[in-house]
Amino acid sequence: MPDTAPKTDKQRFEEIRKSLTQLGSKESAFIRVEQLFYEAINISRNYGNDVSTNKLLSLFKELEADHYQSTKAHFKKSSQREHVIKRFINQFKIVLAIGIKDFLK
């Protein structure tokens, strides 16, 4: 019988981390990475929309400003973009780990 109980935010963050590892940093997988990123932001909004009081949301917004935006730059080689994507994914995993450990129930 399948488990129909709703997942906790912590469980979903753990699933997202595993998915990121499986997807890798290829350009072809980046759309799925973006979807997971925005899903994680939406989950963090469950704890408030104000970045001054919701530290998890604040971490995601910093990640978006510092690393996500750089993935949108124009690169001459796909390997350059994949390097930036890999850096973004690594930072994304770190923020997820912080969320799992410190903020989510």
Confidence bin at 105 (pLDDT 50/70/90):
low
24: left (phi over 0), alpha (psi -120 to 50) or beta: left
Q: Which two tokens stand for residue 36?
A: 């997971």
Quick: pLDDT tens for 50-91: 999 999 999 999 999 999 999 989 899 989 999 999 999 999
Q: Please determine, for residue 5, whether its predicted confidence score (pLDDT) is greater than 70.
A: no
Confidence bin at 95 (pLDDT 50/70/90):
very high
Residue 10 one-letter amino acid:
K
Cα–Cα distance, 105 to 91 (Å, whole number): 22
Of 34, 7, 48, 43, give the one whose Cα is nearest residue 92: 34
Q: Please determine, for residue 2, whether its predicted confidence score (pLDDT) is greater than 50.
A: no
pLDDT at residue 6, rounded to an integer: 62
Contacts of 77 (CB under 8 A, 6+ apart): none
Q: DSSP 3-state assignment of 78?
A: helix
Residue pair 36/16 in contact (Cβ under 8 Å)? The answer is yes
User: Across all residues in the chain, what is the average pLDDT?
Assistant: 92
